[in-house]
Amino acid sequence: MTILVTGGLGYIGSHTVVELLNNDFEVVIVDDLSHSEKFILNNIEEITGKKPIFYPFDLKRKELLHQVFEAHKIEGCINFAAYKAVGESQVKPVDYYENNLFTLINILQEFKEREISNFIFSSSCTVYGQADVMPIDENTPLKLPESVYGKTKQMGEEILIDFAKAYHRKITLLRYFNPIGAHPSAKLGELPIGIPNNLVPYVMQTASGIREKLSVWGDDYPTEDGTAVRDYIYVVDLAKAHVAALRKLIENQSEEAVIDIYNLGTGKGSSVLEVVKAFETANNVEVPYQICARREGDITIAYANPGKAEKELGWKSETSLEESLRTTWEWQKYLNSRN
Ligand code: WQD
């Protein structure tokens, strides 16, 4: 079965492509390389012994996307392609709405015309905003996200729900908590462009001397050590959840609309300082940091109740924070060796 993976050379996309290939799916990648590099494709082949078909273009180019659907019997899609920098989305809202929504709609136009189902959407726990109750399950009420990035994820979910209902198709919304880590081969990982927005890549670059010190955004939160708490999930565990979700969709022979929604996290919260200390312990390195003011738009705490995914997908995130952070450091050393 051939699966279209948009953003398939990106961080989560590339790890998911490896798991799809290891499970004997055929994979067609469309990636504009705006947040990735071509060597990732070669590394996917090194890891799996298989080379996915790759088209380097922007999904806003609907005429090129049409040709891909003409050339391949696409029977499902995992849609990762999106801009994802929360801060950047605040200063470039139109670019974010255009990119994150037009690309999705272009794919859905092809799905609609060709009666294709099995659409998996890369969503985010950000759609919950600051949830009132922890852990966060799929019945937790959504709140309008603070960031434009988060709004594009919530709007994307709404578009897909309407698509599924109107055309009786099968979709899955996967709401990631905080993906971290790298492939055990150290040949895939997060490739931050410029100054990393997210915590773990910044920690990785600080330990490597690329950044002078980590700014800890706020230690006055109502948490145990005053720093904000998140649910850090190992990227390979997250990738495996995509294959489990895809299999469930494929096996569901319903003629009616299918709308599956899963929170993908470990179920455990870790503070910023706990992540810093775990990275130092796991890798026997130092991460110099300074406490700074809170970052605009950040929430205090978010961690998942992964029970629904465990029950319905037979999936559970098994990798510890320290093990995940060990893979991050191995990846940074691989990147250092390439430069
Ligand atoms: C985590 C914690 C920061 C950097 C966002 C999106 C989510 C997903 C992941 C895309 C926060 C603190 C961070 C730093 C810090 N999007 N921090 N110093 O904001 O929870 O989630 O990114 O994949 O949809 O909402 O992740 O890693 O940016 O921040 O203190 O240099 O680390 O304040 O408390 P976040 P993050």
| HEC profile of the chain | CEEEEECCCCHHHHHHHHHHHHCCCEEEEECCCCCCCCHHHHHHHHHHCCCCEEECCCCCCHHHHHHHHHHCCEEEEEECCCCCCHHHHHHCHHHHHHHHHHHHHHHHHHHHHCCCCCEEEEEEHHHHCCCCCCCECCCCCCCCCCCHHHHHHHHHHHHHHHHHHHHCCEEEEEEECEEECCCCCCCCCCCCCCCCCCHHHHHHHHHCCCCCCEEEECCCCCCCCCCCEECEEEHHHHHHHHHHHHHHHHHCCCCCCEEEEEEECCCCCEEHHHHHHHHHHHHCCCCCEEEECCCCCCCCECCECCHHHHHHHCCCCCCCHHHHHHHHHHHHHHHHHHC
Q: What are the pLDDT digits (tens) for 39-50?
A: 999 999 999 999
Ligand 1 neighbour 124 (Cβ under 6 A): yes
Q: Tell the residue nearest (CA) to atom 16 of ligand 1.
A: 84
- How far apart are the C-alpha atoms of 110 and 63, rounded to whole Å? 11
Which of 301, 290, 302 has its CA nearest to residue 212? 290
Residue 260 has pLDDT above 90, yes or no: yes
Block residue for tokens 């931050």 = 192
Pocket-testing residue among 79, 86, 199, 217, ligand 1, by greatest number of atoms within 8 A of Cβ: 199
Which of 243, 232, 263 has its CA nearest to residue 328? 232
In a domain, 129, yes or no: yes
In a domain, 319, yes or no: no
In a domain, 298, yes or no: no
In a domain, 281, yes or no: no
* Torsion sign across C-alpha atoms 190, 194, 198, 204: positive
Ligand 1 neighbour 271 (Cβ under 6 A): no
Ligand 1 neighbour 332 (Cβ under 6 A): no
Residue 191 has pLDDT above 90, yes or no: yes
pLDDT given at position 165:
98
Q: What are the pLDDT digits (tens) for 135-164?
A: 999 999 999 998 999 999 999 999 999 999
Would you call 149 a catalytic residue per the annotation?
yes
Q: What are the pLDDT digits (tens) for 211-255?
A: 999 999 999 999 999 999 999 999 999 999 999 999 999 999 999
In a domain, 191, yes or no: no
Percent of the chain whose predicted confidence (pLDDT) is above 70: 100
Pairing status of strand 270-271 against strand 229-230: antiparallel
Q: Please, what's the largest Cα pairwise distance for the chain?
A: 56
pLDDT given at position 8:
98
Residue 193 has pLDDT above 90, yes or no: no
In a domain, 282, yes or no: no
User: The domain that contains 23 carries what CATH number?
Assistant: 3.40.50.720
Pocket-testing residue among 123, 198, 221, 289, ligand 1, by greatest number of atoms within 8 A of Cβ: 198
Ligand 1 neighbour 217 (Cβ under 6 A): yes
More confident call, 199 vs 318: 199
In a domain, 209, yes or no: no
In a domain, 175, yes or no: yes
- How far apart are the C-alpha atoms of 255 and 272, rounded to whole Å? 46
Q: Which amino acid is at 161?
A: I
pLDDT given at position 325:
98
Q: Tell the residue nearest (CA) to atom 32 of ligand 1.
A: 199
How far is the first Cα of the chain from the last one, in angstroms, to the nearest whole number? 38
- How far apart are the C-alpha atoms of 37 and 26, rounded to whole Å? 21
- How far apart are the C-alpha atoms of 193 and 205, rounded to whole Å? 12
Ligand 1 neighbour 295 (Cβ under 6 A): yes
Residue 324 has pLDDT above 90, yes or no: yes
Ligand 1 neighbour 126 (Cβ under 6 A): yes
Residue 192 has pLDDT above 90, yes or no: no
pLDDT given at position 87:
87
Give the active site residue among 83, 149, 202, 234: 149
Q: What are the pLDDT digits (tens) for 237-248?
A: 999 999 999 999
Total structural domains within the chain: 1
Q: What are the pLDDT digits (tens) for 86-110?
A: 989 999 999 999 999 999 999 999 9
The full length of the chain comes to 339
pLDDT given at position 146:
85
pLDDT band at 318 (very low <50, low <70, confident <90, very high): confident
Q: Tell the residue nearest (CA) to atom 26 of ligand 1.
A: 198
Q: Tell the residue nearest (CA) to atom 31 of ligand 1.
A: 199
Residue 58 has pLDDT above 90, yes or no: yes
ipTM above 0.85, yes or no: yes
Range of the domain at 98: 2-182+233-266
Residue 297 has pLDDT above 90, yes or no: no
Ligand 1 neighbour 75 (Cβ under 6 A): no
Q: Tell me if 30 sits within 8 A of 57, measured CB to CB.
A: yes
Residue 36 has pLDDT above 90, yes or no: yes
Closest ligand 1 atom, residue 125 Cα:
24
Give me the residues paired with residue 81 across strands.
none
Query: What is the distance in A from the centroid of ligand 1 to the CA of 199?
Result: 6
Closest ligand 1 atom, residue 202 Cα:
31
Block residue for tokens 């908590």 = 177
Instruction: State both tokens at 300.
Output: 């205090």
Q: What are the pLDDT digits (tens) for 11-23?
A: 999 999 999 999 9
pLDDT band at 267 (very low <50, low <70, confident <90, very high): very high
Query: What is the distance in A from the centroid of ligand 1 to the CA of 298?
Result: 8
Query: What is the distance in A from the centroid of ligand 1 to the CA of 167?
Result: 36
